[in-house]
Structure 1
């Protein structure tokens, strides 16, 4: 399959590209700097520029682009960056797909997030559940809506509502891994909030699973058994053979990172309804198995 991918240099994109190539796909990466090899194509998503001819011969587009949600304090300016880095990129790709006519790709896999559901408390949600409230929920709604030109043109669109893929050198687990290794780990806040984890190998396989099947609409990329933050912390302590003694109070987290701290303490009991219905073969069905894989991985 000929695949065009945006956001290939990020935490997940940097792992997805070799995964797809290892499966025999030909991947072209969209880059904002001058292209350095035939596997790259320059574009300007902020300016809305992607020539529709760039899509000729492409079977699929995967869009993972977006500034890191937890990378900086959420100032008004960074909130705009979070929005534009997702919505402008998606809109540019969707319009280019629509303009490609008979040459358009058959499928667009567009990144989204479980933040769509807001704080669900103890209530389980799946892809049929309505959107929640808050900055991330509002962002996800606009982000997903930006794919409509591609969908209206007849391209299959799947919205990858990703939870927390687990890798010790990136994402949610990276700072927690270091804290626990230094005997300074513990739950965040009350520990009662649900955390929608997923093993990184399962996330990679779920993307290709969605790519290869006629799956459209939202797809929750999470493990089959969400756990509370306290349960997650206990499982990480067990896997690392470390104590689980130093909880981070909610007020301290919010003081350190601002508004993102409040979002980080949200409870999201998100279930992968579509993946389960379609028979996706989870390799890591428990959080302990996913954490064991993450901490033992060599890359």
Structure 2
């Protein structure tokens, strides 16, 4: 299979490419081809710009993971615009190139996030849950709408609404660890907000699953079937590090530091992967304790 990947040098993209490269011919879209070769190797074809392509007819599949990290910086208006456009522009451009051809890819797998649902308190959330209208929903809803425009008799589209991804190579866990290793980690705000998480290996496996199963299309929640509260997550992480767990980060300090972006951390979603389970996907890391143990062991070995 010949596959075009965006976001291939990122946290998830690098792990995905290590699985794809032995079995498929992979091209990575990147503004920095040198970075592609340095991080992924010279057996990957680096494409500097979609302008180099007349259409996407040469590809069997597209995996679209590109996007400015949503929780890296305070949400100034400029940062909000970067978050939106880094997702929307590339997705729209991919669909335009797909529509320009006569033999388009059979499948597009496009990223999204559980932020699609907005704050949901303790309610169980599935793919049909009505979203709360706020910035995270607006970003994801438009992102998905642009991707789904490619859906027709020739091309199926899957959007994956990812939760907090746990992996040794990067992501939120890597940023949390320094304070927890000092014994200074703790729940945020009330700690009762739900965290929908997933191990990176399950993210990769579900992408491969969606690639191979022609019956799959539409939105899929990419989260473990066992979401936890922020306090449960914090306590489990401290336990696995053999560190104390008695501090608490007040909500007011998060809002002072991060402004509107703090609401991502103070309000959660209890998301269930209903459609993935219906199509028979099996999670390798369904429990948080098992997922953290594996991730931390890889970090120690590295």
Q: TM-score, normalised by structure 1?
A: 0.93
Asked if 2 retains the 8 angstrom alpha-carbon contact of 1:165 and 1:199, the reply is: yes
Question: 1:138-178, CA deviations, whole angstroms, 9 ceiling, x for partnerless residues?
Answer: 11111111114311473100001100110244212112222
Question: Is 1:293 the equivalent of 2:294?
Answer: yes
Q: Secondary structure at the residue paired with 2:21?
A: helix
After the TM superposition, which residues 240-251 of structure 1 pair with which residues of structure 2 at under 5 Å, given as runs? 240-251=241-252
Give 1:3's aligned residue. Answer: 3
Aligned length: 292
CA distance in 1, matches of 2:86, 2:155: 22
Give 2:128's aligned residue. Answer: 128
Structure 1: which 4+ aligned runs deviate by more than 3 Å? 33-38
Report which stretch shifted further, 196-205 or 168-177.
Answer: 168-177
Give 2:237's aligned residue. Answer: 236
Give 2:26's aligned residue. Answer: 27
Give 1:73's aligned residue. Answer: 74
Question: 1:44-68, CA deviations, whole angstroms, 9 ceiling, x for partnerless residues?
Answer: 5xxxx46334x23311000000001
CA distance in 1, matches of 2:248, 2:172: 16
Asked if 1 retains the 8 angstrom alpha-carbon contact of 2:202 and 2:285, the reply is: yes
Question: 1:230-250, CA deviations, whole angstroms, 9 ceiling, x for partnerless residues?
Answer: 011111111111111211111
Give 1:162's aligned residue. Answer: 162
Residues 222 and 34 of structure 1, relative CA distance in 2, 3 Å threshold: closer
Asked if 2 retains the 8 angstrom alpha-carbon contact of 1:98 and 1:149, the reply is: no
Q: Give the drift of 1:74.
A: 0.6
Give 1:260's aligned residue. Answer: 261
Q: Secondary structure at the residue paired with 2:171?
A: coil
After the TM superposition, which residues 96-135 of structure 1 pair with which residues of structure 2 at under 5 Å, given as runs? 96-102=97-103, 104-135=104-135
Asked if 1 retains the 8 angstrom alpha-carbon contact of 2:57 and 2:102, the reply is: no
Give 1:52's aligned residue. Answer: 54
Q: TM-score, normalised by structure 2?
A: 0.92
Q: Secondary structure at the residue paired with 2:150?
A: helix
Q: Give the drift of 1:136.
A: 0.5
Q: Secondary structure at the residue paired with 2:83?
A: helix
CA distance in 1, matches of 2:3, 2:25: 6
Q: Which runs of 5+ in 2 are unaligned?
A: none
Question: Is 1:201 the equivalent of 2:201?
Answer: yes
CA distance in 2, matches of 1:142, 1:108: 16
Q: Secondary structure at the residue paired with 2:149?
A: helix
Asked if 1 retains the 8 angstrom alpha-carbon contact of 2:91 and 2:143, the reply is: yes
Cα RMSD (Å)? 1.6
Give 2:228's aligned residue. Answer: 227
Question: Is 1:41 the equivalent of 2:47?
Answer: yes
Asked if 1 retains the 8 angstrom alpha-carbon contact of 2:68 and 2:83, the reply is: yes
